Amino acid sequence: MVNATVSNKDKNVEKVNTLGKVSGIMLNIALTALIIGMVTCIVMSIYFCTLPKDAVALKGDFKGSVTVSHELPEKFIVINEEDVEVGKEGRQLKYSVTENRDEDNNKVYDISFLLDKLTGTELKLVAAGAMALIALSLLILSIIVIFGKKLAKALATCDSPFEDNVLKKMKSFGFSLIPWALYKLIVGNLGGITTVIFVLIVLLFISVFNYGAKLQRESDETL
């Protein structure tokens, strides 16, 4: 009976080891992809910064209207009135929305958009900033993957998932998620809140697992 129990434990540990090895391979692939993406974004950001001022220029205008039937609930479709002007004397960008009523008492939103002389100076800064922001997000994800690899390696070589080395790597992995949660909270909205909640759940799970490991050690010491 004792031998059967030991054998069963060995099989469970082997499953953990296999999971760690497979996870390590997948995380290596993910890290390679993240590094390639990060380098690409950095190169693109530098490239956009080096573009001449007249490399790209946008110009155009749009006028249209949106009619909302009076039969719909009042707040069913609402477009806020706006009157935005950007640039010297508003000549670079104009955007306006006005609300009116037609003869059938339908709401009519008149929309006007004018873009004049938006040059490479503005566009390249926006594009470079976007690439830099993406590179930052990939960097944070790469850090998470690196700590995940360390955890996977510990699981692949452990004799028990309750070993101190595994628990230490698990804690480090949990803490590596915090910068990503903060990043998503700053640049995101609802998605950022969801990410924070997910990270808190993971940290809670790790705390519970560590407490379980502590109880397991205490139980083993009393036997």
For the stretch 176-205, pLDDT in tens is 888 888 888 887 655 667 777 888 888 888
Question: Hey, what are 153's tokens?
Answer: 């390696």
In the predicted structure, residue 99 carries a pLDDT above the cut 70: yes
Average pLDDT of the segment spanning 89-114: 77
Residue pointed to by tokens 């080891």: 17
| 131-155 pLDDT tens trace | 999 999 999 999 999 999 999 999 9
Evaluate whether 205 touches 154 at the Cβ level (below 8 Å): no
Bigger pLDDT: 60 vs 21: 21
pTM score, two decimals?
A: 0.65
Q: What is the pLDDT of residue 66?
A: 81
Instruction: Check residue 186 and give its pLDDT.
Output: 83
Return the pLDDT at 7.
Answer: 47
Where in the chain does DSSP place strands (E)?
57-68, 82-86, 93-101, 107-119
Residue 160, pLDDT > 60, answer yes
Q: Is the pLDDT of residue 209 over 90?
A: no
Length of the chain: 223
| Structural domain spans, the chain | 57-118, 162-223
pLDDT mean over 61-87: 73
pLDDT at residue 124, as a whole number: 77
Whether the Cβ atoms of residue 120 and residue 55 lie closer than 8 Å to each other: yes
125 or 86, higher pLDDT = 125
Residue 85: the pLDDT is 66
